[in-house]
Amino acid sequence: MKKLLIVTALLSTLICKSQNNIYEWGEGMTFYKGWIDTTRISLNQIDSIHQYLFDWPMDILEATSIWKIEQMDSVSTSKLDAFFVDRMSLYYSMTVPESAFWDSLVDFRIQELRSMYLAYSEFLKGFNDPEFLLDPSHPECEKYALPLNGNEESLLSAWRSLIDQMKENNGYPGLLESKYQEQLSSPDMLKYARLDLMRYGWWNCRNQYVYYHEDDNRIEEEFEKLFIKVERFDEE
Segment 165-185, tens digit of pLDDT: 999 999 999 999 999 999 999
CA distance 22 to 195: 47
Q: Is 202 exposed, middle or buried (0-12, 13-18, 19+ CB in 10 A)?
A: buried
pLDDT less than 50: residues of the chain: 1-15, 18
pLDDT of residue 145: 98
Q: What CA–CA distance (Å, rounded) separates 125 from 10?
A: 25
Separation of first and last alpha carbons in the chain:
31
User: Is residue 201 assigned to a domain?
Assistant: yes
Strands 229-234 and 14-19: unpaired
Sheet holding 229-234, edge to edge: 14-19, 22-27, 30-35, 229-234
Q: 78 lies in a domain?
A: no
The residues near 140 (Cβ < 8 Å, ≥ 6 apart) are 205, 208
Instruction: Say if 128 falls within a structural domain.
Output: no
Q: What is the per-residue pLDDT for 15? A: 46
- Asked if residue 227 is part of any domain, the answer here is no
Is 162 part of any domain?
Answer: yes
CB contact at 8 A, 147 and 157:
yes
Domain assignment of residue 152, yes or no: yes
For the whole model, what pTM was predicted?
0.87
Instruction: Classify residue 123: in a domain, yes or no.
Output: no
Q: pLDDT tens digit string along 141-166?
A: 999 999 999 999 999 999 999 999 99
Domain that includes residue 155, residue range: 133-211
Answer yes or no: is 156 within a domain.
Answer: yes
* Residue 158 phi, psi dihedral angles, 5° rounding: -65, -35
